[in-house]
Structure formats: structure tokens, C-alpha cells
Amino acid sequence: MEGSRALLLVAVAAAVAGLAAAGNFQTDCDIPWEPQNAWFSNGGNSLSMKLVSNYSGCMLRTKKQFVYGTVSTLIQLIPGNSAGTVTTYYASSVGDNHDEIDFEFLGNETGQPYTIHTNLFANGFGKKEMQFKPWFDPTTGFHNYTISWTPCMIVWYVDSVPIRVFRNYESSHGVAFPTSRPMFAYSSIWAAEDWATQGGRVKTDWSKAPFVANYNGINLDICECYSYGGCSTGCSAAAAPYRGACQLSSAELGQMQRIQGTYRIYDYCVDPKQWTNGQRPVECGLPQY
């Protein structure tokens, strides 16, 4: 057990170093909402954002848009009583019928675990939530959160372990999937005490403000798009390197099954209240690996 823990700590430390060298929040991103609540350190490789009040949080957005790619960062979540707060890392298009791939971290009372909330919007429609309890303390150190978006599938990773897959069944089964709308990558911190913690039953203790989340390194391995609307060569669904793997390896599948079997606490596929017209979503009966 101690040997495994030591290896994990080495892996996390290596990830921090790798990400810190791979991108720069200060040069690669803008802060379009409440920039006074963000500050950079470590030459722009590290970022902190604070939530001050119910109306004053913060949001960072990459300067580049992309169609397909992998975006990663390391996050240390708000310690202590974080009830009613939401810290995020996600990718989203802009405009009508938007596409979005979400990591949202829902705060909780002191001593209670965070909720790792994942969701997907395709062609403006979401309701594809899957939630997990973390198998580590996300407030005492940095952990790596990665979104991989290829023409074949979307994968959510935590510390390089896949926790969820959403496959592209658009052409074969009519399941909406993001394929063409360019996305930005975002990080944010905001207040959602009406729903975030235990369905809104636990409110934010504003005497504990400001609430601070820390980010370390940003890795943007993306198929870049430009302000005039075009994407770089190689961004079509048929082109490398953004085809990516079309299924998890057997080892990754085993990791994901263990995480979902032990730490998943919500799955829209088994919640009829989230189904349209009482019909179970088509993708819920199809392989997601």
C-alpha cells in the first residue's frame, strides 16, 4: 500500500511538472468575467481564482478555439466549508444550440466529500449528468483533470484514469455528438447555493469568503481554430492526429469500471426523471468504451 501511494505521489508530481511546462494561463488565456478575482504566479503557469460573493466569482477562457483535442489542468479545490460553491473546468462552444463538455466540482460542508459532476451538451441539449465522489481529498493537493474530445468519443480523466466515456453514435443511432462547433476551454468559480450542495439544502457560509481555487499548468493539445472561422489543417474528422483512439484499452476499461462501480453516485441512464418523454436515452443501451 505504501509503495503504491509513493508511486501515485511521484506520478502526480511528474504531472504537475509536465503541465507547468506545457502551457501558460497568463499568455494563453483571457479573463472575461471579474478579472480582479484572479491572480497569476509562477510566471503565469499557476492561477488562483476567488469567489467573493453570490454575484462576484471569476472565469478564465482560452484565447484559442478548437475542434477536437485534449485539454488538461491540475486543480486544488476550495478547502473547508465549500458548500454552495462550484469550481469548474470545461469546454464549450458559443452561440445557439451550443456544445459543452463539463467537469464541475460541487462544494460541501466541512468533512463531507465534494461531488465531481460531469455532463455533456450536444446541439443545445444536455441532461447527460454523471456524478462521482472523489477517492482522494481534492483540497490538499493538485489533481489532474483532462477532457479528451475526438471524432470517436469523449473521455473524462482524473489523474490519467478514465472515469467516463461518451461515444459518437450520431451517424449510426442518431445520438447528438459535438463534431463541428469550435470550443473554448474554460475555468471558473461561482456561487450556486440554490442547487449545488445537497440539492440546495445547505447554503453558503459567506463569512468564510473569499473561497479560493488554485490551478497549476494548462495543457492544450488541440486542433486550433481561428477568429475568422477556419480551423487548421488536420481538424477534419478523418485526419490525424485528432482521430485518437476509438476505444479504451483493456487496462483503461478496467480502471473505469472500478471507479464507476465504487465511486459513481448518479447516472442519468437510470434516472427516468431526466428522460425525454419517458424514453431511456438511446446511448444508454450502447457500449460506452
Tell me what pLDDT residue 16 has.
35
Q: Which residue(s) pair with 122 in the sheet?
A: 125
Domains, the chain, with CATH or none: 22-282 (2.60.120.200)
What is the pLDDT, as a whole number, of residue 246? Answer: 84
pLDDT of 271 reads 97
pLDDT at 289: 84
According to the model, what pLDDT value does residue 126 have? 95
pLDDT in the model for residue 5 = 36
C-alpha span between 69 and 150 (Å, rounded) = 6
pLDDT for 231: 67
Q: Which three cell numbers stand for residue 276?
A: 425525454
CB 42 within 8 A of CB 24: no
Radius of gyration of the chain (CA): 18
Tell me which residue has cell 450502447.
286
Alpha helices in the chain (DSSP H): 2-22, 25-28, 170-173, 250-263
Q: Exposure pattern of 128-158 as b/e (b: 16+ CB <10 Å)?
A: bbbbbebbeebbeebbbbbbbbbbbbbbbbb
pLDDT tens, the chain, 289 aa long: 333 333 333 333 333 333 333 679 999 999 999 999 999 999 999 999 999 999 999 999 999 999 999 999 999 999 999 999 999 999 999 999 999 999 999 999 999 999 999 999 999 999 999 999 999 999 999 999 999 999 999 999 999 999 999 999 999 999 999 998 999 999 999 999 998 898 888 999 999 999 999 999 999 999 888 655 566 655 554 444 455 568 899 999 999 999 999 999 999 999 999 999 999 999 999 998 8
Cα dist from 237 to 34, 68, 179, 241, 260, whole Å: 36, 9, 8, 10, 29
The catalytic residues are 100, 104
The whole-model pTM stands at 0.89
